[in-house]
Amino acid sequence: MPEQDLSFALGSPRFSDTRLATLAADQGVLAAWKQAFSDGRPAADVLSGVTGRFAVAVQMADGRCVLAVDRFSIDSLCYRIDDGQLRFAPRADALADDARTLDPQAIFDYLYFHVIPSPRTIFQGVQRLPAGHVAVFEAGRLSVEPYWVPTFSEDSRESFPVLAEEFRGVLRSAVAGQLDGSKAACFLSGGTDSSTVAGMIGLVGERPAASYSIGFDAEGYDEMEYARLAARHFKTDHHEYYVSPADLVASIPAVAAHYDQPFGNSSALPAYYCAKMARDDGVSHILAGDGGDELFGGNTRYAKQTVFDWYGRIPGVLRRGLLEPVSDLAAVQKIPLVKKGASYVNQAKVPMPDRLMTYNLLFHLGLQDVLTPQMLAAVNIDGPAQQQRALWPQAKTGNLVNRMLAFDWRYTLADCDLPKVVGTTGLAGLSVGFPMLDDELLAFSERLRPDFKLKGLRLRWFFKEALRGFLPDEIITKKKQGFGLPFGVWTARHDGLKALAGRSLHGLADRGIVRREFVESLLNERLSQHAGYFGEMIWILMMLEQWLAAKAPNYRLA
């Protein structure tokens, strides 16, 4: 056993074993974890009896080290092996040192996903434990395995009224369980999830929620009217802040540098200002609505991919003998109506999950045009797709919608949206809770009929119908938007923001990562042509350079 015990435990796990629950209450969570892993059972079996939010690293008396994170990896856990010893920490950068070099493949993965999905990190040799996984280090050898795999029960015939009543009770309990006794507060975008959380706080708390919303003075991006509608409906103590281009210039470097590796989710900036506003108002703990779309079928891609999946029902002889050959003909592209049909066929014949990334921004812009020859030579351009193909079949389900949900639990929630909220609230000085990711709600989602999640092509049908009369009708029927950031529009018009973007992108060119010709074209031509679309790529590149400038200023691609 190492001379110094560096064990730690984050979060609030719930132990089904009453003996461990009592030990956690009396001596602390870490004592309960150590007892649990010393009982002789495989670590994966131990974790099957633990729910809630947690990240734990335990050094055992017998020399073993056990690392584990919850089903969504709300708190991250990273590790590396040096000279036969396992080192671990909540952040990847805590395990980096002067000798540690950056991983070009991780940079490529970032440009592909806009985040770096686990288990890779930006630092060579440093890994991040994936959601729902456990790692055991023993006798110099490390084994990593999932202790939980999404498993769906798809033949339930429970009636809607029975399920709706149960769901409302579980949801109410989930929100109550995330309040810590301090001032009850929540983010409020005006969407279904945040509005539900705001309303439930009013039901279970001593008083209505304090709600916090962000707006943008940009046409098509501001949905403050829905936040105000929800605030009035639930009588919340409502607060608003309008983010400006000057705010972005002032805060982008700090937000980028706060993360332990490059992070490109553009809603991190508005989330930070929303959390900062709450902190300035005396809030110490805030609830977020993340997870509802991914548990109950609320993302538009679920309907879109279902439409593409219908193609597979056409007899194979007709597909391969007529539709696919015709769709490949050049002449077809000149006939508008037929062109749409050919586009449908060409996309539908791409197998999942590759079809989800058909419009990937990096590939759509052209790898050879975006990246330098030395960058392309240093990476496996098929690496992200290979990882996704390996993960895609793991969920235990025979239904496309459920498989997409499970896929999003890893890539959308664990690797993107949750780090965004945890990171920005942490930077603002708040803790955050996620009632939509409550284990009982997760279990409810796993046994809810697929056609209740996506009814025909109606997104999250059950969730909305079960809360009809609780939520305002206008919010139930509104289109999803969230904290979308008008970065491209503002960059085209605001000199300070455009200057920051320009310095950042030219910095990446100096490092040998992106082609200078592409940077010039992006900033001086394409941005003015389609600010929203090309602004997304500028944002991704800018946040990468801002992180490198703060954490690895001397990095150059060899």
Q: What is the mean pLDDT of residues 183-196?
A: 96
pLDDT for 481 beyond 70? no
Six-digit token string for 280: 């300035």
Query: Higher confidence at residue 546 or residue 321?
Result: 546
Give 187's strand partners.
212
Residue 521: how many other CB atoms lie within 10 Å: 15
- Annotated domain spans of the chain: 8-146, 160-241+263-297+402-477, 300-367+379-390, 487-551
- CA–CA separation, 368 and 390 (whole Å): 26
CATH number of 160-241+263-297+402-477: 3.40.50.620
Q: Which CATH class is domain 8-146?
A: alpha beta
* Total-model pTM: 0.94
Give residue 177's pLDDT band: very low, low, confident or very high (50, 70, 90): very high
Using one digit for the tens of pLDDT, what is the confidence trace for 304-326? 999 988 877 777 666 666 555 65
pLDDT for 343 beyond 90? no
- CA–CA separation, 20 and 14 (whole Å): 9
CB-count burial class (<10 Å; 0-12, 13-18, 19+) for 3: exposed
The Cα angle at residue 371 between residues 368 and 375, in degrees rounded to 5: 115
Residue 90: how many other CB atoms lie within 10 Å: 15
Residue closest to 470 by CA, chosen among 224, 171, 214:
171
Give residue 3's pLDDT band: very low, low, confident or very high (50, 70, 90): low
pLDDT for 142 beyond 60? yes
The Cα angle at residue 291 between residues 287 and 297, in degrees rounded to 5: 145
β-pair type (78-82, 65-69): unpaired
Query: Higher confidence at residue 471 or residue 1?
Result: 471
pLDDT for 51 beyond 50? yes
pLDDT for 2 beyond 90? no
What pLDDT score was predicted for residue 310? 83
Using one digit for the tens of pLDDT, what is the confidence trace for 434-461? 999 999 999 999 999 999 999 999 999 9
Query: Higher confidence at residue 217 or residue 462?
Result: 462
CB 132 within 8 A of CB 146: yes
E strands present in 94-190: 127-128, 133-138, 141-146, 185-187
The least confident of 220-224, 291-295, 548-552 is 220-224
- CA–CA separation, 408 and 391 (whole Å): 11
